[in-house]
Structure 1
């Protein structure tokens, strides 16, 4: 059994930030990540451009310098790897936490590779591994995907993109450029206000010129291997489709959070925590990053979630002083 001061579950940007600040307190810190370092960013589309500037994505007061103001996916991968090296962070990647239990003042963590003890635990697991599911017949067919990587395989294919926010619009744009026949189906009455302002004019232009078909106020009723059936205000329509991208958002792993004792608000899905310290109702158990937002993932991003580590470090620092 390995004993350490603090364990952070999840090695995304917010988990890395928390590790840096805790390590600077003099604590021994271990990050446990079931995928690779910044796994969610690695899963982004190959040519993804961030909404935030590189400065707002930086952590640990280590500059993130790029040629363009808004970095792309690969820029971020290089930066966060470099930060992990500079800060000499200990990261167990490819290891899944199965359970977290607290006995007295000590947390016991069991993973698929070992057992650990720690005085403090920070959960920074994000939400990208938990896509929202469609309530439609055929939603689990193999031609339905919740992640978009790149458009090349869909040249001259009929593709239906479900959703109307950034991930859906980005995917539709890349697919159209690669020669796919793209239809976007969205339940909203107009474009989401969260769509990045610098890409919406180009997207609307493609819609207006018939390059992309955009259908608002539409509900998906059934997905088949060759078509998608939708219902709109004017009735039922079937759209030919080889592939479906259901880009309808993601959510935290509520089962895991509940299993380790974190209480959740039923309606919002938000964990109950102290907003000043990020500490949950379980003493010495903290959260960091987008999971603090529950179902409203658009309220916390890297640029504000990265500061959670500072709040956690301050809280633990005060506890350490009180115990001296």
Structure 2
């Protein structure tokens, strides 16, 4: 494999941080391509339709491109529009609906095999986020069509009996929105209260709806079985069975750490399983492979966001440009 055939950088992940890396690569006049297994900013696309960000719009900007939203905290749709316009304005090279399947290295050049073709690259940046793999309930019936780990639109659940599992932002949004569309909503919450990280303007709403009985909630409880028209719940008072049409299991998501392990990236031995990389350059223990964005935190998926990961792109491209 000849070096002259190879891209300077192959970026895995077409989310905001992957795009930020591409923008920095263009600034440095380095050749690159983004490989994304889904649509543009695929994770954001899979957010609930009516979602509002915690961050203000300027904290979500990449590449110095202004993000103007109707309110200080933008919606999902505004974010999709913004990142699409950034991609168009910068003429970013992005290959969508193409999945990376294998990475190997020979003579300081990586060969990346995707679902469509092969690429050669001198450096790889992995910016894959953590929205790919849901935490499973591991209970009978979880594989039924009525169960989803991704909540999108509330209208679908109108006039249905809906069970929402979880107590953080996604769960609270799903419970409130489906209830307001006429669903009969029950929440199952592992702990004793609604999550502390729930958006401050939403948390009082869900607490009030629970207290008045509009939305039922079982605290310190777990789902033990799911059937076509029923769900079993282990509560402090014993197992109860309720009628049910749909289950929205907002149990959280995890990064694809096994992919990192397969290409030789070391992980910490604790529960966090944080990948090994340099804080200064973001290069991993595999020379030429860098990590950017939420993937850097391993299983600690709540410490890194778009707003505090944008700087990763600058660090990485500064290091790569010095190697060229």
TM normalised by structure 2 equals 0.96
Q: Is the 8 A contact 2:38 2:97 kept in 1?
A: yes
Which residue in the other structure is 1:65 paired with? 68
Which of 192, 197, 217 aligns to 1:194? It is 197
Matching of residue 108 in structure 1 with residue 111 in structure 2: yes
Select between 162-171 and 261-270 the one with higher mean Cα deviation.
Answer: 261-270
**3-state SS of 2:133 partner:** coil
Which of 168, 172, 175 aligns to 2:175? It is 172
Which residue in the other structure is 2:27 paired with? 24
Matching of residue 262 in structure 1 with residue 265 in structure 2: yes
**3-state SS of 1:306 partner:** helix
Q: How far off is 1:319 after superposition?
A: 2.6
Q: Is the 8 A contact 2:11 2:124 kept in 1?
A: yes
**3-state SS of 1:263 partner:** coil
1:47-62 correspondence runs (5 A): 47-62=50-65
- Over the aligned positions, Cα root-mean-square deviation in angstroms equals 1.3
Q: How far off is 1:314 after superposition?
A: 1.9
Matching of residue 163 in structure 1 with residue 160 in structure 2: no
Matching of residue 313 in structure 1 with residue 317 in structure 2: yes
Distance 2:200 2:218 in 1: 20
Q: How far off is 1:263 after superposition?
A: 1.4
Deviations 1:54-113 (A, max 9, x none): 010000111101120011111011110111112221000111111111112111100111
Q: How far off is 1:317 after superposition?
A: 2.7
Distance 1:124 1:140 in 2: 29
Distance 2:22 2:267 in 1: 25
Q: How far off is 1:258 after superposition?
A: 1.2
Which residue in the other structure is 1:236 paired with? 239
Distance 1:195 1:10 in 2: 27
Distance 1:17 1:176 in 2: 38
Structure 1's consecutive aligned runs of 4 or more residues displaced over 4 angstroms after TM superposition are: none
1:1-324 correspondence runs (5 A): 3-266=6-269, 267-320=271-324
Distance 2:125 2:292 in 1: 7
